[in-house]
Structure 1
Amino acid sequence: MEEVIRYLSAFILPGLLVLLFTRVTYNRYIGLALTVGLIAASVYKGYTNTFPLIVIDALSLTAGFWLAAKVKQRVLKKT
């Protein structure tokens, strides 16, 4: 059960963190950098200890970065 939670968290949380940091800093590159820093810290501390988890984190980061661009386009279109 613990492994399922790790994989689900790796699939969802990095993308959400990119979106959150992008909304707070108004810059998607800074949001991405902050999230990569958090993931690097978790890898260093040993919480992300397998290669598939790192790959899933990277996919989620990419999806979050892409979604942040789409949200930015939508916001700019409204104004």
Structure 2
Amino acid sequence: MALKYLSALFLPGLLVLLFTRVSYNRVIGLVLTVGLIAASVYKGYTNSFALIVIDALSLTAGFWYAQKMKPKTKQIAE
């Protein structure tokens, strides 16, 4: 049971980062990860409300970090 909580803490955030890097769009990365979590809940792998809350926190952290990873544009000095 502890493995489920530990996985819920790290994997959704990492998946958001992975999908963001692959698709070059953080919203698409978030939507794909939410879809995977929804499928997991539907199939019965997520069986408690606490796991869903931890997944949501991890998604939020991954989305925030994906925003921080966004490349900054350089301003040209004229």
Structure 1 length-normalised TM: 0.91
Partner residue of 2:43 out of 42, 45, 61: 45
For residues 21 and 78 of structure 1, the distance between their equivalents in structure 2, rounded to whole angstroms, comes to 25
For residues 74 and 48 of structure 2, the distance between their equivalents in structure 1, rounded to whole angstroms, comes to 42
Which aligned segments of 4 or more residues in structure 1 are displaced greater than 3 angstroms?
Answer: none
Q: Which has the larger radius of gyration?
A: 2
1:6 maps to 2:4: yes
For residues 74 and 26 of structure 2, the distance between their equivalents in structure 1, rounded to whole angstroms, comes to 19
Q: CA RMSD in A?
A: 1.4
SS in 2 for 1:47: coil
Q: 1:78 to 1:14 in 2, by over 3 A?
A: farther
Structure 2 residue aligned with 1:76 = 72
Cα shift at 1:76: 2.0
Cα shift at 1:77: 4.8
1:36 maps to 2:34: yes
Unmatched tracts of structure 1, length 5 or more: none
SS in 1 for 2:47: coil
Decide which structure has greater helix share.
1
Q: Sequence identity, in percent?
A: 76
SS in 2 for 1:55: helix
Structure 1 residue aligned with 2:61 = 63
Structure 2 length-normalised TM: 0.92
For residues 77 and 57 of structure 1, the distance between their equivalents in structure 2, rounded to whole angstroms, comes to 32
